[in-house]
Structure 1
Amino acid sequence: MTFFRRALGATALATAAALLSACGSTKPQPAPLESFKPSQVITTVWSKRVGSIDTPISLAVTKDAVAWASEDGQILSVDIKTGQERWRADAKAKLSASVGSDGRYAAVVTTDNELITFDQGKVLWRERLPGRVITSPLVAGERVFVQSVDRSVRAYDVLDGRWLWNYQRPGGDPLSLSTPGLLSAFRDTLVVGQGARFVGLDPLKGTPRFDFSVSTPRGTNEVERLADLVGPGARADDEICVRAFQLSVACVEMNRGSLRWTRPQSGTQAVAADDTTVVGADGADRLSAWKTENGEIRWRVDRFTHRKLSAPAIWGKLIAVGDFDGELHILSLDDGRTVARVSLDDPLIAAPVVSDGLLLVATRSGTLYALRAN
């Protein structure tokens, strides 16, 4: 569940769902599942399970492996093509953020604010962090990057845990969104969210290369003005597209470090993107698709209203998006038609990821499915 909290405080104010819902007592009813004639066959290539997961995670996908973790600290890395186990680890603690990996090294953060780094499943080092972390660490370039709830970003040497630098943009907002934020890499630039600002850092020094706002927060109070960038960002060739919480969707031209376009949409989940299309759902679960090049609308569908849609994934000519009931909806990228539906063992707990033609989806029960479109 999503919380707001003061950047330097310790008390959660309220859940996002409660603050974004209407004041009336009647809860919106989810749209019923539509009837349709399937035109796409989806098969399960393999599935693996760790323990249950109650808080959002990220799937750590590299060239040939994927790693994920349960809330109680069980970490598993498997071969993407076969599902064969590569290594397994146990953090021996409840996790608040999991898991970041470059294929060899992996990092998680415990609820006691301890950063633990592994080498092929064996503990390398542990380091106490100064604040709470819920965004999965990023492991890249023999460094571990960690973003705290107060938006500060710290870098450590992956081999020995040596602290390298800390970055926090001055003059931050009084509130921050306690949900996984933007922390990724584009070539030799570390990309982080600082409120509604999109910041590119030198990963060696922690100094800014560019810094600009993707949206202008609006509202009469601190909660209404929250516009943190929601992770993960969606890579589309030389662009990264991102959601500004409850405000807009935007695409950034990374070679220039500048905003390409932004469009209003009051959603809370991350978006998906490829070189033609950006897809995301608004707060009422109306799904929209925009042209990546200029932000022009391609189509909208409202068949899934109030079904609590997950972040989507673009899967070749398909779109995959989960709902609150454990249904995975497969749509046509061209026009949003439903072409297939897959029943999972639980709702999604991570943004779906596409790798080597397979769709990887993780559920609250801790099951990771690798699906193929035939």
Structure 2
Amino acid sequence: MSVSRSIVLLISVLLIGACGDEDNAEPPAELTAFEQTHFLALEWSVSTDDDIGQQYIRIEPLLLKDRIVTAGRNGTLNVYTLDDGDELASITLDIALSGGVGGTEDIWLVGSRNGELVAISGESNDILWRTAVPSEILARPVVYNRKIALVRTADGQILGIDIKSGKINWNYSRTIPALTLRGSSSPILSRSHFYTGLESGRLIAVSPIDGEVIWDVALAVPQGRSEIQRLVDIDGSAELYGRILYAVSYHGRIGAIDVTRGQFLWARSFSSNTGVSVGTDAVFSSDDRSHVWALDRNNGATLWKQDKLQARGVTRPVIFQDYVVVGDALGYLHVMSRFDGRFVARIQVDSEGILVPPIVDGDRLLVLSRDGNLAAYTLKEAAMYTDEELFD
């Protein structure tokens, strides 16, 4: 690993305010009691052995129609049924994985720390091909139209790879800043283009056929004297809602872009490396202090802010029924009303912490903890129970 990338890893760990044991880190907020109107009921739980140790790597699972595929840093993929968590397969690749699982029902894609993309058959579990790429893959690969795999590498390149052969058809390259957060945002697909955020704080629209850039706009501009102050990565997930792309940067802004013109509809100051989730009326994000926000989708105005999780290293909020859910670095799931941000439920899933946002599958919530525990929950009304009665 180069010196610059080693520094990136160090800085990324230090920036997770509450997650480490550093003496100078802000302590995580103590949890406060609240009137618990709901509770998370455990449906099933399995140990995947897909732990990530002390590394700050978001290796997100792949949700399929009736299966879920997980991956660990040791190069093992595990496949489970969604209904009951039964293990269907375990696939050993003997490579150090660094990006989430991408793909379709038919083909699964994973990337390694050593710059390799591996394709696995979703039917036979056999390895279909391996392709060397310029550097480490830190983002989940995405498949366009069942023909092209779109892959982000840590050196600032985006690759278009033939899904059948593994041949690299095109590459887009841009110089990255000397210091960046550890991670990359995955491409977001539309019918004819894909959109992705860069380490420079810019958003681009690209043709998946040949890599031609359609438009390029700045969501954030580096400011400040130090390299840390000038970090403006777009690492978190963006989301497309109709023709509007919502995205957020670190030390920059959160905003809405009309993808047909590449123009901002609104933008406001914000700092986050977790990304956004978009509902019918609101866009949700967690900032770099672990405050959870709901903003008006049409103009960015604040609808509510929940600041009781400060410095707890929360994930991107996900929309689950009439609620938003975050995991935190101490292993808790927090369920809030999507309308006013009040807490309605809480449970500790795992003491090792949660880095990957919860995954919504209908009325089921799937959670992968830092040490590889995969669990499925449903949300139920708690009636007369209080927070202390349920969890003390």
TM-score (norm. length: structure 1): 0.89
**Alpha carbons 2:39, 2:346 under 8 Å: kept:** no
SS in 2 for 1:12: helix
**Counterpart among 96, 99, 102 of residue 101 in structure 2:** 99
Q: 2:160 touches 2:210 (CA, 8 Å); kept in 1?
A: no
Cα offsets for 1:224-254 (capped at 9, x unmatched)? 2221111322343443322201322222333
Return the offset for 1:76: 2.3
Query: More displaced, 101-110 or 266-275?
Result: 266-275
Say if 1:81 and 1:19 are closer, same or farther in 2 by CA, change over 3 A. closer
Q: Judge conservation of contact 1:246–1:268 (CA < 8 Å) in 2.
A: no
| Partner secondary structure for residue 127 of structure 1 | strand
- What residue number does 2:138 align with? 134
Q: Which range is displaced more, 215-224 or 89-98? A: 215-224
Q: Measure, in 2, the Cα distance between the counterparts of 1:336 and 1:300.
A: 7
Matched residue type, 2:193? T
Q: Considering fraction of residues, name the structure with more strand.
A: 1
Deviation, structure 1 residue 86: 4.9
Over aligned residue pairs, what C-alpha RMSD do you find?
2.5
Counterpart Cα distance in 2 of 1:109 and 1:53: 16
Partner residue of 2:224 out of 219, 234, 240: 219
1:18 equivalent in structure 2: 14
Q: What is the alpha-carbon distance in structure 1 between the residues aligned to residue 66 and residue 299 of structure 2? A: 33
1:304 is aligned with what amino acid?
L
In the aligned structure 1, how far is the partner of 2:80 from the partner of 2:255?
33
Out of 100, 122, 126, which is 1:122 matched to?
Answer: 126
Contact persistence 2:248–2:271 (CA under 8 A):
no
Q: Flag the 1:72–1:11 CA change in 2: closer, same or farther, 3 A.
A: closer
Instruction: Describe the SS at the equivalent of 2:14.
Output: helix
Q: Distance in 2 between matches of 1:42 and 1:221?
A: 44
Tell me the distance in 1 between the aligned counterparts of 2:215 and 2:236. 19
Pairing partner for 1:240 from 219, 224, 245 = 245
Q: Secondary structure at the match of 1:334?
A: coil
Return the alpha-carbon distance in structure 2 between the equivalents of residues 69 and 215 of structure 1. 32
Q: Which amino acid aligns with 2:376?
A: A
SS in 2 for 1:354: strand
Q: Distance in 1 between matches of 2:165 and 2:299?
A: 45
On the 8 A contact 2:131/2:167 being kept in 1, the answer is: no
- Deviation of 1:190 (Å): 1.7
Aligned-partner residue type, residue 134 of structure 1: L
Partner residue, 1:53: 51
Q: 1:316 to 1:247 in 2, by over 3 A?
A: same
1:308: how far off? 1.5
Question: 1:359 offset after TM fit, Å?
Answer: 1.9
Q: 1:166-185: CA deviations, max 9, x gaps?
A: 0124x654443321324221
Q: 1:359 aligns with which of 340, 348, 365?
A: 365
Stretch deviating more after TM superposition (180-189 or 76-85): 76-85
Q: Spell out the pairing of 1:20-35 with structure 2 (5 A cutoff).
A: 26-35=24-33
| Contact map agreement 1:181 1:228 (CA 8 A) in 2 | no
Give the letter aligned to residue 193 of structure 1. Answer: G
SS at match of 1:16: helix
Name the amino acid aligned to 1:358: R
Paired amino acid for 2:368? A
Mark the CA change 1:275 to 1:316 in structure 2 (over 3 Å): closer, same or farther.
same
Of 107-116 and 9-18, the range deviating more from structure 2: 9-18
AA of the residue aligned to 2:127: V
Mapped to 1, the partners of 2:105 and 2:362 lie a distance apart of: 15
CA distance in 1 between partners of 2:193 and 2:45 (Å): 34
Q: Which residue of 2 aligns with 1:41?
A: 39
Match of 1:263 in 2: 268
Bigger drift between 325-334 and 355-364 goes to 355-364
Aligned residues of 2:150 and 2:161 also touching (Cα < 8 A): yes
Measured after TM superposition, the shift of residue 43 of structure 1 is 1.8
Residue 369 of structure 1, aligned match among 367, 375, 384: 375
Instruction: Report the Cα offset of residue 211 of structure 1.
Output: 1.4
Q: Any unmatched runs of 5+ in structure 1?
A: none
**For the residues of structure 2 that align with 1:262 and 1:84, how far apart are their CA atoms?**
45
Distance 1:49-1:138 versus aligned 2 partners, 3 A rule: farther
Matches within 5 A, 1:255-334: 255-334=260-339
User: In the alignment, is the contact (CA less than 8 A) between 2:46 and 2:375 conserved in 1?
Assistant: yes
Look up the equivalent residue of 1:287 and give its one-letter code. Answer: V
Check conservation: 1:51, 1:72, Cα contact below 8 A.
no
Shift of 1:84: 4.3
Moved more, 79-88 or 148-157: 79-88
Which residue identity lines up with residue 112 of structure 1 in the other structure? N
AA at the equivalent of 2:213: P
Distance 1:19 1:217 in 2: 17
Given that residues 102 and 143 in structure 2 are in contact (C-alpha distance below 8 angstroms), is that contact kept between their aligned partners in structure 1? yes
**Aligned partner letter, 1:154:** L
Three-state SS of the structure 2 residue aligned to 1:178 is: coil
- The answer on 1:176 being equivalent to 2:172 is no
One-letter amino acid matched to 2:26 = P
Cα offset, 1:100, TM superposition: 0.9
Q: Which residue of 2 aligns with 1:188?
A: 192
Write the distance in 1 (CA, Å) between the matches of 2:65 and 2:215. 29
For 1:18, give the aligned amino acid. L
Q: Indicate the SS of the match to 2:100.
A: strand
Aligned mates of 1:244, 1:367 — CA distance in 2: 30
Counterpart CA distance in 1 for 2:150 and 2:280 is 27
